[in-house]
Every structure is written in structure tokens, then in C-alpha cells.
Copies of this chain bind each other. A is one copy, B any other.
Amino acid sequence: MTQTSATSTSRWRERAMRPVSATRSYVQGVASHSPARLALLAFMSVIALFTLLLALPISSKTGEFTVLHDALFTAVSAVCVTGLTVVSTAEHWSFWGQVFISLGVFIGGLGILTIASLLSLAVSKKLGVRGKLLAQNSMSTTASGTLGEVGSLLRIVITTSIVIQLALMLVLTPRFIVLGESFPTALWHGTFYAISAFNNAGFTPHSDGLVPYEMDPFILIPLMVGVFIGSLGFPVILVLLHFGWSFSKWNVHTKITIIGSFALVVVGTVGWGLLEWNNVRTIGEMEAGDKIVHAIFASIMTRSGGFNLVDQALMESRTMLATDALMFVGGGSASTAGGIKITTLAVLFLAIFAEARGERDVKAFGRTIPEGTLRVAFSVVVLGATLVATACGLLMSISSATLDRVLFESISAFATVGLSTNLSAELPPAGKYILAALMFAGRIGTITLASALSLKQRDQLYRYPEERPIIG
């Protein structure tokens, strides 16, 4: 009887544990078989956790439960480092709600950086360019074997992220004290903005956002620097840490990303400044110097930061279109910035230049860009455009908002920018779920798609004869 009882207990335990061990072996299987799928699962779990936390009464100022669509939207927006909001961060959420948001941003940002870096490493190893992608040979000295290499990469990514965010916090906190906040409040705001900036999240804990600080360089400059560094991506940061500013030693990825980033900042500043120069609803009545500061800030923030000094709904329609384009491009690969990424755009433009000059090879900085890379880049752009167009169509079916606002909000969600004409808050719950799905797809989709495509190169045993259809 005792034995039977023991057996039945053990059987019971076994049965109870079955889902747990099944889950564990499922996760292990996924991890070894498909790192991209693991990334999706991990992000979904984190989002589910933060949705739960944000829905709890402790997270809201009123002490009531928050409805599911608002909690889920905010959790996705935080974990996908977007910054779109359906309720005011300062007014709806309690201190704990804001803590959960910044924690979600911190974990989400770190997750994106590590997953994207790992996938980049996997791609570069698979394609036989091991070590070249990341800091050229800086990795191989610290690592022997796969696990060591991965571990060392993760350690560098996590350490560097935290150090940069701590530095931003140490710069911002004293400024908030000078501006009259108590030490705990200033520390909290400094921490919140540091996390929000480096992770390109664009959440603000103040009800007026950054408008009170629109002329304060001690706030604006750290935010711009934090957003810009965060938007470069780890493959670039590692190269910069290793080689500093000796351009000739950089790999092609770093050269394209750095030059592209600066070029886009300049183009965005000039474009935004000219388009808004006489708009009295935004910067039209400011002095020239202030206009230029606003233009630089807008240019840096548009590609993913998501902080704003002027009401986006009051910009000229043409500025909204230009903003759409900048948002869609986004920042560097394996960064906290979203969009199709700077290298994607650059590769496509280099291909068009090569085509216009009648050259077979796509070249950059004395290197040939492989043909396969061009096709991956094109696939990423088509995926992005398709996602945005589908979301626009769906949103226009369920709301009466105009196309310019719908397009703006959709691209902002896809590219995890967070700039808004407040459409997110006005949409019915179905619209919030659509935008949440778009943020998730834009954040995780392009990374995993690009790496999955790059990893999936098959050998072929025979080729068909060539035939050329007429184009154009």
C-alpha cells in the first residue's frame, strides 16, 4: 500500500510536471533549432508579464484596474521601445506604473540589442565572415568556442548598455536638481530619461513632455547624444570601442552606418527646418537660433528617438510626409532604433548607383556587396511597406481618421518611433491592437526576417538557362 501510494504520488508528480518539462524541452528545442523563434517567444512572454503588471490597480493613479487594450498597448510600446501612448504616462500611471514602463523599456532594449547582436553573429559565422562583422578580430581574443564567444558578446553588450545609461543618468539628475526638483524625484526623472533616451523609447514622465525644457541644452544635449548612440547599434559600438575614430580600420558596416547616420541627421535638420520655418503653429515665430535647435532635435528624434518639442499634429502636411520617410528608414542594425535600417537603405541606393553607371558589382569603400545582401535588403523594405500599408488599410476601415494621420501613426508604430498626432489614443480597441501588432512586427519582424533569410542559403545542383523579361 505504501509502495502503491508512493508510486501514485510519483506518477502524480510526473503528470503534474509533464507540462513543465514539456515546456522546457520545447524551449530548448527552439533555442538550438531556431534562435529567431526563441526571440519571438521571449518577447511575447515579457510583453504578457508587463501587460499583467500594468493592468493591476497598483499601476494606475486612480488605483483601479486598467482595461486590457490600454495595458497591452502600453506594455508592447514599452518592451518594443516605441513610446506611443494611449493614456498619458504622467497622468494615468502611478509611480509603480511608470517604474514598470521604464523597466519594460530597459528589458526590451537589452533584449533587442542582445538578440540582434547574437543573430548578426550567427549570420556572420554561417556565411564565413566570422569575426569580420563584429569588431573584426576583437572577439576572437576573448573567446574560444561558440559558448565563450556568445557569453563574451552578451557581457560586452549588457555592460556597455548599462554604463551608457548610468552616464546619462549622472548627467541628467543634477540638472533636474538645479531646476528645483527634490533629490529622489530628480534621480527618478534622470533614470527614466536615461533609459528612455538610450533605448530610443521616447517615453516622458512629465505631463508636458519635454516642452518645458525646449531651450535647456543640459537636458536636450544628453537626450540627443543618448538617442544617437543608441541608434547606432552594437556592431558599430563594438568597432568604435575597439578602433576609435580611425576610419580606415572600420568594417564596411560601420562606415556605412556612421556616414549614413550623420548624413540623415543633416538632411533631416535642413529638410525639417526649411519645411517648418514659417509655420506659426510650431517654430514660425521663434528666433533663427531656436528654429535651428528645434530642427536638429526633430531630425535626431524622428529616426527613432520619439521625443518631440512641437505638437506633431500642428506640423505642415509636407513635414509629416518628410517625417514619415525619415521614420521609415530608422537607425542602425542591431540597435534600439527601428525602421528598415540605414544599411538597408544604403545597400539599395548603392545598387541603384551601380545600375546607373552600368556596373555589375555593387561597391562600397573598396568592397563588393554580395548580391544576396541586396535581395535581403529589398525583402526587408517590401515587408516593411506591406506591413505599413496593411495597417493603414485596416485602420481606415475602422476609423474616420485622414490618411496622413493614419500613415504617420502606422509608420511611427512600425519603426518604433513613438511620434504621434494622438491617433493611438483616439482609436477604438481594435485599432490599438492593430498598432500593437505593428509595433511588435516592426520591432522583432525585420530583425528575425533578415537573419532568417541570410541564414537560409541553399546550394543548388543545377541551374535553368537565363531569360530576361522586359522591365519598366
- The count of chain A contact residues (Cβ–Cβ below 8 Å) is 87
- Residues on B with beta carbons closer than 8 Å to the beta carbon of A468: 124, 127, 129, 133, 252, 369-370, 373
Given contacts A379-B356, A380-B472, contact A369 B403 (CB under 8 A): no
Q: Which residue of B lies closest to A341 (CB)?
A: B472
B464 & A367 in contact (Cβ 8 Å cutoff): yes
A345-384 contact mask (Cβ, 8 Å, vs B): 1 or 0: 0111001101111111101101111111111111110100
Q: How far is the CA of A446 from the CA of B470 in the complex (A)?
A: 12
Residues of B with C-beta under 8 A to A317: 396, 403
* A467 & B132 in contact (Cβ 8 Å cutoff): yes
B-side contacts of A287, CB under 8 Å: none
Copies of this protein in the assembly total 2
Asked whether A453 and B404 contact (CB < 8 A) given A373-B469, A470-B133, A471-B376, the answer is no
Q: Which of B235, B358, B460, B467 contacts A359 (CB 8 A)?
A: B460
Is A58 at the interface (CB under 8 A from chain B)? no
CB distance from A313 to the nearest CB of B (A): 14
Complex-state Cα separation, A253 to B468, whole angstroms = 7
Q: For the complex, is A402 an interface residue (Cβ under 8 Å from B)?
A: yes
Asked if A88 CB lies within 8 Å of chain B CBs, one says no
What residue of chain B has the Cβ atom nearest to residue A344's Cβ? B471
Query: Is B359 a contact partner of A471 (Cβ separation < 8 A)?
Result: no
**A322 CB within 8 Å of chain B:** yes
Instruction: Say yes or no: is A333 at the interface (Cβ < 8 Å to chain B).
Output: yes
Nearest CB of chain B from residue A253's CB, rounded to whole Å: 4
Out of B251, B322, B344, which one reaches A467, CB within 8 Å?
B251
Interface: A407 (CB within 8 A) = yes
For A253, give the chain B residue with the smallest CB separation: B469
Instruction: A50 to B81: give the CA distance in the assembly, Å.
Output: 57
Q: Does A19 contact B (CB under 8 A)?
A: no
Contact of A223 with B by CB under 8 A? no
Kindly state whether residue A393 has any CB partner on chain B within 8 Å: yes
User: CB-CB contacts of A132-144 with B at 8 A, as 1s and 0s?
Assistant: 1100000000000
- Residues of B near A451 (CB, < 8 A) are 472
Residues from chain B with a CB closer than 8 A to the CB of A371 are 371
Among B252, B361, B472, point to the contact of A447 (Cβ < 8 A).
B472
Check if A343 is an interface residue, CB within 8 A of chain B. Answer: yes
The CA-CA distance from A376 to B403 in the complex, in Å, is: 31
Give the residue name and chain of the B residue nearest to A362 (CB). B375
Main SS at interface, chain A: helix
**Complex-state Cα separation, A240 to B50, whole angstroms:** 62
Residue from A368, A382, A471 having most chain B Cβ neighbours under 10 A: A471
Q: Roughly how many angstroms separate A396 CA and B366 CA in the complex, as a whole number? A: 41
**Which residues does chain B contribute within 8 Å of A127, judged by CB atoms?**
468
Contact: A465 with B368, CB < 8 Å?
yes
Contact of A340 among B341, B351, B375, B472 (CB under 8 A): B472
A472 x B458 contact (CB < 8 A): no
Contact partners of A325 in chain B: CB under 8 A: 389
Give the nearest-CB partner of A129 in chain B: B468
Inter-chain CA distance A466–B456, complex, in Å, is 19
For the complex, give the distance between the alpha carbons of A402 and B456 in Å: 43
Q: Which residues of B contact A322 (CB under 8 A)?
A: 393
Which B residues are in CB contact (< 8 Å) with A404?
402-404
Residues on B with beta carbons closer than 8 Å to the beta carbon of A377 = 471-472
Q: For residue A361, which residues in chain B have a CB less than 8 angstroms away from its CB?
A: 460, 463-464
- A197 contacts chain B at the CB level, 8 A cutoff: no
10 contacts between A and B (CB under 8 A): A123-B470, A133-B468, A333-B469, A340-B472, A344-B472, A356-B453, A368-B464, A369-B469, A370-B466, A376-B472
Given A360-B458, A373-B471, 10 new contacts (CB under 8 A): A124-B468, A129-B467, A133-B468, A316-B396, A347-B471, A348-B382, A358-B458, A361-B460, A367-B464, A369-B469
